[in-house]
Structures are given as structure tokens and as C-alpha cells.
Amino acid sequence: MQRRHFFTGAATALAAAGVGRAALAAIPEAVQQTSADTAPPWTPPGVTGAGRPYSPVLTLNGWTLPWRMNNGVKEFHLVAEPVVREMAPGFLVNMWGYNGQSPGPTIEVVEGDRVRLYVTNRLPEHTAVHWHGQRLPNGMDGVGGLTQPQIPPGKTFVYEFVARRPGTFMYHPHADEMVQMAMGMMGFWVTHPKGKHPLINEVQRDVCFLLNAFDVEPGSRTPQVNTMLEQNIWAWNSRVFPGISPLVARLGDRVRVRIGNLTMTNHPIHIHGIEFEVTGTDGGPVPKTARWPEVTTDIAVGQMRQIEFIADEPGDWAMHCHKSHHTMGAMGHSVPTMIGADHRGLVQKIQRHTPDYMLMGERGMADMGEMQMELPENTFPMMTGTGPYGPIEMGGMFTTLKVRADQKPGDHTDPGWYTMPPGTQAREVPTPAATSRAPGSAADPQTPTDASARKPAGHHNH
Ligand SMILES: [Cu+2]
């Protein structure tokens, strides 16, 4: 849901001074977003001049900033401000963002558009906005101190340039960057080609999102801004699974996914069920002769990757970062590995002194997915997300690609879980007796029954 708020203070002052209607509208209204749901693609209302048609993108758990035409210039209004982001249902984090959310709204323009961006700073400290990847005059590059004075709290600056090349871009502060990006300040930018482009395919689905990370102590609500690498919340567009919308496609659709990385580590993004090609980066389209098939592509820090595939296999396909700790929620790194350790009888003894004591990891960590452990308030569980067959045991940077034959063209609504055709699903069969070993049994080689079992047998000492 979007709400529009006018800068009533400024408007009142201007009205009192008897300024005309044109001056009152000198700055476009700043549209606000109150929801973390995926907003439908924003199609501009009937426009003329530079308001040329394009096929809009879908921002995963985000939205597109409406613009207005003013004498042939597309005008936007960003407001940098503190926001509360719902990272997953019931998990709220105090962030800094733009126009009510983190990330900020996606900005969509067409190659050749003259763009004017007003930026109002409602943060407690100065900021500046860098338009990552754009060709523009040096003074519009948004590097505080280098190309412009910082935007002080309470002030509005304006940027203006021509979106010269089509592609996938982002925006973020170049002011107190470590703090401001750790607090969630960033947004996506798409410049659509002005016509048919030899290296840019027409697609039926065009989805974008940013990779971001936070360090939110369990039980708290504000990210630790001085954490360099040990973030514990791995997010897509400031959302974590199961709070991330699925990518939905109609069988046979050509799908483009644009991903930017504003975390401090790389993310190998992996999609099941299909092969894709990297068709572009933030540097522009990749020549066709330089594309090769992949199922995983690594997205390094500060990079963007634009990938494309044909959604020709129906199902619910996992799509995730392949760093396994990035598909988990907050967890302690100091938990010792307990696999293979025999703790029988020990837990009860410890619980006599420490009634809340729990043993973790004796048989692996999978049990965590359904463990009903008491968590501090406002803590995102370590693993979460339940599928039709039980806990998915993943959170963080994980979602699903849902491909359906009966999905309507352009319909992004979640079709629910996939129904497997009969005979196409892994199933249990009788286990041959000779290979059956119950965990913890004497036949389990990882479970020594006594000290002598550890001694190598059949060898002589030399
Ligand atoms: Cu990752």
C-alpha cells in the first residue's frame, strides 16, 4: 500500500507567501510505501514526450517509484529516512531507507530519458546518493566530499542527468557508507532500451532485487553498524525466507533476473531445474559470443548480474545462495560440532543442574528446523520455512522459482505448492537388511561402543 505525503510545512510557507500553483509543485510529492510485499509492476499512466513505453520490472518484496513528467523531464522524489522494515512476518528491524522502506523504491526509466531526482534527507546525519554504473556528469555522481557537498539533515538536493545507456544499475549512499549501507540504504535502477536492442532480449518476466546483509543481535531490533563481515541476517531486498516472494513464471516464459550485491561478501546464486546465461552486468549487455550456460553465478561485492532462462520445467524449484550459512537465520558460531558424539544419559545429568540445557547437533542440525526452542523476542529463527513435505530447513537467501503451465501471462501471484505428476517423485523403498544401521547402534562405524573399538584391528605395531 502506498501513501502520498506532501511536504506540508514547505507548502504552507509557500502558500502564505502568495506563490502560485506552479511553484507549489516545484518538487514532486514523495510517494511512500508502507508494505514489504511485492508490489505489482508499475506502469506509468498515459504519458507523452519522453514518457516512452517499456515493459516494467517486478521488484521482489519491493516497488517502483512513480514519476511525473515536467517539460520532458522525468522527475522523482526520494526521501532518505529511518524506516521499520518487516524482514519476515513478525520480525521487525529498525533501518534507514528511502520513502518508507529498505531498500528504496526501484527507479525505472528509458534510455535517453532526462531524469531529475530530488533527494530529501530526513536522517540524523548527512548523506549523498551515488547512481552506481551510470554515465553522467561528474558533479551528479553523488560522492559526498568529492563531487558535491554532503546533503545535510533536513535539506533537499537535486540530481539531473540523461540515462545514457540501457541496463541494470543501483543507487546507494556515498556518505558514511559503512553505517548507511549496514542500515539498509540502497535501491535498484533499471534503464530500459529505447527500442529493439541487439543484445537485450524481450522477456515475459523481468525481476530484480538486491542482496543485503545485517547484523541483528537476537532479541534486538537495530543492526550493529560496525560489523565488518560477521553479519547474521542474509537477505534479499531486506527480506529473509520465508518472507521472500517466490519468482513465478508461466511455462515457456523467458525470464530475466537482475541481482545486485551490496553486502560485504560474494554470493553464488544457484537456481534448480533450469540453465541460465549471464546476459548483462552493471557494465552493460554481455556480447552473445561471450555467454555460456550456468546453474550458479557468483556475484561479487558491488557487482550486478543480469541472468536469463526459459522457464520450461514445471515445478517449485529452489533458488538460493550456495553459501549454506547464508540460507540460515541468526545463529551462534560457537556451537561445537557434535556429530558422532555419544551423549546418552548426559543430558539428564546436566539438566539436574541446568534445567533449560538442550543438546544440539548430536545427529546433525536438521532437528533445528522443527525445534520449538524459546527465542528472545523479535528473533528470526535459525532455520525456517515449511514446504508441503515438512520444514525446508532454510531461511535467509532462499526462495522458490514456481513454474506453472496454467499461470496467466504476467500474473505474479503465488500459485501455491506444485502437485507432482504420479510416479515423478522420490519415494521410500524397503531398505535391504544387510545395509540397515540404526544411528547409534553398534553397527554404526561413527559410534564407538567402547575404547577398544577405536583401536585399528588387523595391524601390527612396528
Ligand atoms: Cu550468500
| pLDDT tens-digit readout, 383-441 | 578 899 988 888 899 999 999 999 999 999 999 999 999 999 999 999 998 765 666 55
Higher pLDDT, 98 or 8: 98
CA 338–ligand 1 middle distance (angstroms): 25
Q: How remote is the CA of residue 209 from the centroid of ligand 1, in Å?
A: 14
> Cell 548480474, residue?
305
Say if residue 43 is exposed, middle or buried (CB neighbours under 10 Å; 0-12, 13-18, 19+).
exposed
Q: Say how far apart CA 218 and CA 369 lie, in whole Å.
A: 17
Q: Residue 357 Cα, ligand 1 centroid: separation in angstroms?
A: 32
Give the containing element (helix H, strand E) for 15: helix 8-16
7 versus 291: the higher-pLDDT residue is 291
Return the residue matching grid coordinates 532479541: 219
Distance (Å, whole) CA 395 – CA 383: 5
**Residue-averaged pLDDT of the chain:** 85
Grid cell listed for 103: 531498500
Residue 217's pLDDT band, with cuts at 50, 70 and 90, is confident
**CA 344, chain centre distance (Å):** 42
- On the 0-12 / 13-18 / 19+ scale of CB atoms within 10 A, 112 is middle
Ligand 1 centroid to Cα of residue 185, in Å, is 19
Q: 172 pairs with which residues across the strands?
A: 130
Instruction: Kindly report, residue by residue over 330-349, the tens digit of the pLDDT.
Output: 654 444 555 565 656 655 66
Q: How far is the CA of 26 from the centre of ligand 1 (A)?
A: 43
pTM: 0.82
Q: How far is the CA of 397 from the centre of ligand 1 (A)?
A: 7
CA-CA distance, 93 to 348, in Å (whole number)?
A: 38
Residues with Cβ within 8 Å of residue 27, at least 6 apart in sequence? 7, 10, 77, 118, 156
Mean pLDDT score, 45-50: 66
pLDDT at 454 over 50: no
Instruction: Judge whether 52 and 116 are in contact, CB under 8 Å.
Output: no
Q: Which residues of 196-217 are buried (b: 16+ CB within 10 A; e: fewer)?
A: eeeebeebbbbbbbbbbbbbbe
Average pLDDT score over residue span 363-387? 63
| CB-side neighbour CA atoms (13 Å) of 256 | 23
Cell 508490489 belongs to residue: 39
What are the beta bridge partners of residue 213?
A: 234
User: How far does the centroid of ligand 1 lie from the alpha carbon of residue 213, in Å?
Assistant: 9
446: nearest Cα among 366, 363, 367, 365: 363
Q: In angstroms, what CA-CA distances link 369 with 233, 320, 325, 384?
A: 17, 17, 14, 6
For domain 2-206, which architecture applies?
Answer: Sandwich (2.60)
Quote the cell numbers at residue 426: 522420490
Give residue-wise pLDDT tens across range 60-118: 999 999 999 999 999 999 999 999 999 998 899 999 999 999 999 999 999 999 999 99
For the record, the C-alpha cell of 206 comes out as 523481468
Phi first, then psi: what are they for 21, rounded to 5°? -65, -40
Domain boundaries, given as residue ranges, for the chain: 2-206
Distance 232 CA to ligand 1 centre (A): 11
pLDDT in tens, 25-37: 689 999 999 999 9
Average pLDDT over residues 437-453: 50
